[in-house]
């Protein structure tokens, strides 16, 4: 297990201590779960790591009529309150996951078409699936 300066678990390879924080994105949690389940390779899809709205991390904002920051325009739409992402913390979590995967002879690939997440090696999803 790895700990940050506040002694919170950031990535756990054991199931009973999986780190999950509502302040982070869900993908680092899913990467831990896949690790625990024994996956040797993981394909991330839909990780554009880019938001239309910008501002301080975790700032509460009110959505407009349509949501330009998510994969569907009604995800957070119509005046819903939501917090701006902490992209730096997400990158720390992704980097830690990448390092743990690779240190264990495993690999996570970013199979997103486009996007700005460059922590993981890129691979087209069709290529990832075809290799199996």
Residue 72 to residues 58, 66, 106, 111: CA-CA distances in angstroms? 21, 9, 32, 19
Integer Cα distance of 34 and 41 in angstroms: 9
Q: What is the pLDDT of residues 48-78, one digit of tens each?
A: 888 878 889 888 988 888 888 777 888 888 8
Q: What is the pLDDT of residues 65-122, one digit of tens each?
A: 888 877 788 888 888 888 888 888 888 888 988 999 999 999 999 999 988 999 999 9
CA distance from start to end of the chain: 30
Integer Cα distance of 6 and 10 in angstroms: 10
The model's pTM: 0.77
């Amino acid at each position: 297990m790895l700990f940050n300066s506040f002694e919170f678990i950031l990535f756990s390879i054991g199931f009973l201590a999986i780190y999950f924080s509502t302040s982070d994105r869900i993908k680092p949690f899913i990467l831990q779960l896949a690790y625990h389940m024994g996956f040797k390779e993981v394909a991330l899809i839909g990780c554009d790591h880019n938001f239309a709205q910008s501002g301080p991390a975790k700032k509460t904002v009110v959505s407009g009529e349509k949501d330009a920051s998510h994969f569907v325009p009604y995800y957070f739409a119509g005046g819903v309150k939501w917090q701006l992402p902490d992209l730096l913390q997400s990158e720390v979590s992704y980097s830690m996951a990448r390092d743990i995967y690779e240190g264990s002879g495993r690999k996570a690939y970013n199979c997103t078409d486009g996007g700005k997440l460059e922590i993981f090696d890129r691979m087209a999803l069709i290529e990832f699936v075809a290799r199996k």
